Amino acid sequence: MFKHLNTNTLNWILIIGVILFIIELTFFHGGMIASALFCALFIYIGWKNFLQLWGKIFFWFGIAGAAFSILNMLAVRFLIIAAIILFIMNYSKSKKNTEVTYPTIPPNQKEDIADSAVLKVEPLFDNSFFKGDKTDDSAYHWRDVNIHGIIGDRVIDLSNTVLPNDTAVISIRHMVGNIEIYVPYDIEVSILHSSFFGRAQILDQYHTKLMNQSLIYKTEKYDESQTRVKIITSVFSGDIEVKRI
């Protein structure tokens, strides 16, 4: 959206936002800014003591209070409204000026494409917003995993399936919940995990506190192996465990 934005327009938006910020700071005695800073203190204290119950309460109370305070600032409200208006304007322009690209297919491939069949494959998991998922305890046929959800735990056990002689992909995007992935000892693994808050146990590597972090690991012979697993996970709040079985 912003790559098509005129520089002068962007400058005016930033200038107005700064003016509104100064007005709130000057005429409203800090307004929601002081409240947001106070909530930031709660977040810091809660994060330092998150293993205790009162620490969790402080942390999430601070998060909720800070979000409420920031969204009630004049400058933030103006920027949100400006972003919505710009999005609508750019979307309207894109609908009027749609670019159509036609792929060029070599003549000797047209016949092969026409004769090829397209098969529908049922996914291993369905996208579920409010429940967890687990692979079958009995043997099952492997299909690449690409799922997202809101609440619930995800458990994937690769010991009950036969992986292809290729790169098997597991992609999970989740809001709140834990992810457990069990990998056989003879399979090479690559893991890319990002988390706003949580913990991670990836093979023999432990991370007890993750705060808006990304982790990248791979086994020593991953690049050389033909049968391997690539794991890409993203959670807002939750733990991940990847271990041998």
For residue 146, which amino acid is it?
N
Residue whose C-alpha is closest to residue 231's, from 153, 133, 156: 156
Average pLDDT for residues 196-218, to the nearest whole number? 88
A 10 A CB-CB count for 182 gives 16
Average pLDDT for residues 137-164, to the nearest whole number? 83
**Rounded to 5°, angle at Cα 195 from 202 and 192:** 50
Element (H, E) at 21: helix 7-27
Question: What average pLDDT does the structure give for the chain?
Answer: 78
Most confident of 13-17, 96-100, 195-199: 195-199
- With b for 16 or more beta-carbon neighbours within 10 A and e for fewer, the 164-180 pattern comes to eeebbebebebbebbbb
pLDDT at 101 exceeding the cut of 50: no
Residue whose C-alpha is closest to residue 190's, from 146, 232, 235: 232
What is d(CA 235, CA 75) in angstroms, rounded to the nearest whole number?
A: 30
pLDDT recorded at residue 104: 52
Selected residue with higher pLDDT from 196 and 95: 196
Average pLDDT for residues 172-194, to the nearest whole number? 90
Residue whose C-alpha is closest to residue 198's, from 241, 239, 153: 239
Residue whose C-alpha is closest to residue 193's, from 165, 206, 183, 226: 206
Half-sphere exposure of 103 (CA within 13 A, CB side): 5
pLDDT confidence band for 111 (50 / 70 / 90):
low
pLDDT recorded at residue 28: 66
**128-139 tens-digit pLDDT:** 655 566 776 777
Chain centroid to CA 166: 25
pLDDT confidence band for 163 (50 / 70 / 90):
confident
Selected residue with higher pLDDT from 227 and 97: 227
pLDDT confidence band for 7 (50 / 70 / 90):
low
**86-100 tens-digit pLDDT:** 777 766 766 565 545
What is d(CA 45, CA 95) in angstroms, rounded to the nearest whole number?
A: 49
pLDDT at 1 exceeding the cut of 80: no
| Threshold 0.75, pTM exceeds | no
